[in-house]
Amino acid sequence: MKHGQRFWVPAACAIGTLLAACSLEPDDLCRPETPSDTSEYVSAIELARTGKQEVFRRDPGSPVPAEQRESWPGLEFYPVDPKLRFRGPLVRKMSPRTFTIVATNGDQRPAQEAGYFDLKFEDKVRRLPVFELLDSGDSPSLFVPFLDTTTGNETYPAGRYINVESVGRGEYRIDFNEAYNPSCAYGGSFSCPIAPESNRLDRPIEAGERGWHDEEVSIVTPD
């Protein structure tokens, strides 16, 4: 399956009235963006999660194999944490690096490193590279996979993805509460890009989707 799973991730936080602007320093940091109404923000995330559960359980295009949907236990999520939503600039590469990113079935897909986000957590800044998959269509979208210290224990071994939202003037919203599993986490014959080691965050990201339902996770690496 080619990358492009926006169908599965309802835009939970696209309501402009929920958002409070953050102050960015000249060092191009992405800083936590506190919602103006936290309870409304949390409700919006939870409503989106409920909708995603129904889509996965009933939609003919669900990544959950048809024969498993009746007994499927549903998606698992961490509690919503408003502190894990960020806003800031994408620092673009002057000379983007082109490389191949490995998929779960061993395929090697052409990709380009578009730039990176520097995320200001409580303790330190962590860099998260941003990619474009060059075989995903005429105008590749930003692709942001990540690993963290929950990967392989509480979250899917191949990593999770985030759909970043452009908010204008070169800034983006990065909300880990909307982090989601690739489709191959549910079984079937999907092929999903594996988050590379360059995108490993050295802290737990206890937000977004957790767990997985493919009991025999097999990740093939090329020879």
pLDDT tens digits along 2-53 = 454 443 444 443 333 333 344 444 468 999 999 999 999 999 999 999 999 9
The whole-number pLDDT of residue 21 equals 40
pLDDT (mean) for 195-223 = 79
pLDDT for 154: 95
pLDDT at 15: 34
What's the pLDDT score for residue 219? 55
- The string of pLDDT tens digits covering residues 162-183 is 999 999 998 999 999 999 999 9
The mean pLDDT value for 125-147 works out to 90
Residues 6+ apart with CB under 8 A from 134: 98, 109, 110, 111, 112, 140
Residue 214 has pLDDT above 70, yes or no: no
Backbone angles phi, psi at 72, to 5 degrees: -65, 130
Secondary structure (H, E, C), the chain: CCCCCHHHCCCCCCCHHHCCCCCCCCCCEEEECCCCCHHHHHHHHHHHHHHHHHHHHHCCCCCCCHHHCCCCCCCEECCCCHHHEEEEECEEEEEEEEEEEEECCCCEEEEEEEEEEEEECCCCEEEEEEEEECCCCCCCCEEEEEECCCECCCECCCCEEECCEEEECCEEEEEHHHCECCHHHHCCCCCCECCCHHHECCCCCCCCEECCCCCCCCCCCCC
User: Model confidence at 58, in pLDDT bands (50, 70, 90)?
Assistant: very high
pLDDT score at 18: 35
Nearest to 82 by CA among 206, 170, 219: 206
Which band of pLDDT confidence, cut at 50, 70 and 90, is reported for residue 137?
confident
pTM greater than 0.95: no
pLDDT surpassing 80 at residue 220: no
Quickly state the pLDDT bin for 139 (edges 50, 70, 90). confident
User: Given this model, what pLDDT does residue 27 score?
Assistant: 67
Angle subtended at Cα 221 by Cα 215 and Cα 223, rounded to the nearest 5 degrees: 145
